[in-house]
Amino acid sequence: MDSNIVPYFYFDLYHKLKSRRILSQICYNCGIPIDDKDVTREHIPARNLFEGYDEKYKVNRITVPACSKCNGQYSPTDEEFRNMIGVIAKNKANNKLTEKAVRSIIRKDTSLQRLEYNEFGKVSGVTFNEIPIENYHKKNFKGLFYFQYGKYLSDDYQLSVNIDENDWSDITLGIIGYLKELFNWKFSGHPDILKYIIQPFRLGITNPSKEDLKPAEKENMFVGILDYNNEHAALVFALKKSYLEELKNRKKEK
C-alpha cells in the first residue's frame, strides 16, 4: 500500500463521535436535525463503484448520517457516475463496471441518442451531462467533510467542481500540488476505489509532518481532490460566499 495513504480506523472513530452525539443528529447534506429513529446512512462512495471487486474492498467504507430525502435522491446520480466511470475505464479491474455501464445506458437510452459515432459509423463514445457528475462530487465532498470534521458544511459555502482533467489551469494544478505535496491521502473502503484529500486552503504554508490543518472558526476556503477507481479525479472548491463576494468587489475596483 502507498505509504502516503493513511488508513483510518473508521468504525472506532464513528462510535467515539456518536458517543458525543456529534454524528447522529444532523444530515450531512442538508444540515437538518434528524431524530435517531429516522436517521439513515449514506455510503461514501456508493456501492456500485465496487462492482467486480472483492468484498474486502468495502471494509471501512465511510458512512454518514442522512435524512431519508437526501439518502434517496441521489440514486440516479450514483448510477450516472458509475456509468461514466465504466465508459472511460482503462484498468482491467474495472471491467465489471464497464459491463454494468453498457447495460444501463442501453436500457435507459433505447433510442441510443447519447451514443457518439465516428466517420466509419462505429460507436466512439457516450455523452454525459456534467450536472449529475458534478453533483456526485459535491455530495461526496460534503459527506467526507462531515466525516473528517464532524460537522455539516454550511450553506455559507458555495461549492464548485473542476472535472476537466485535460484542461486544468495553472491555478488548478497549483492547488492540486498544494494538496498532494503537503498532506496525506485518505480513503474510503480502499484507495483503489476512492482516495481523497480535503483541507483548508492557505497560501505560503509548509507542512513537513503532513498533518491535517485545523480549520479556523471562519475558514474562507476548503479544497479537495477526489480520485475514483484510478480512472477519474475532480477538484472541489468550497468558498465562503462572503469571501467570494469580497473577491468580486476587489476585482471590480481594479
Distance between CA 58 and CA 204 in Å, rounded? 37
- Residue 223 counted as domain residue: yes
pLDDT surpasses 90 at 7? no
- Residue 173 counted as domain residue: yes
pLDDT surpasses 70 at 254? no
Cis peptide before 45 (omega within 30 of 0): yes
> Is 114:127 a contact under the CB 8 Å cutoff?
yes
pLDDT for 188-219, tens place per residue? Answer: 999 999 999 999 999 999 999 999 999 998 89
- Residue 21 counted as domain residue: yes
pLDDT surpasses 90 at 79? yes
- Residue 20 counted as domain residue: yes
- Residue 160 counted as domain residue: yes
Residues spanned by the domain of 208: 10-74+130-245
pLDDT for 23-67, tens place per residue? Answer: 458 999 999 999 888 899 999 999 999 999 999 998 889 999 999
pTM of the predicted structure, to 2 decimals: 0.86
- Residue 105 counted as domain residue: no
120, three cell numbers: 466509419
- Residue 189 counted as domain residue: yes
Q: How confident is the model at residue 121 (pLDDT cuts 50, 70, 90)?
A: low
- Residue 170 counted as domain residue: yes
> Is 44:147 a contact under the CB 8 Å cutoff?
yes
Q: How confident is the model at residue 125 (pLDDT cuts 50, 70, 90)?
A: confident
Domain count, the chain: 1
| Mean pLDDT score of the chain | 87
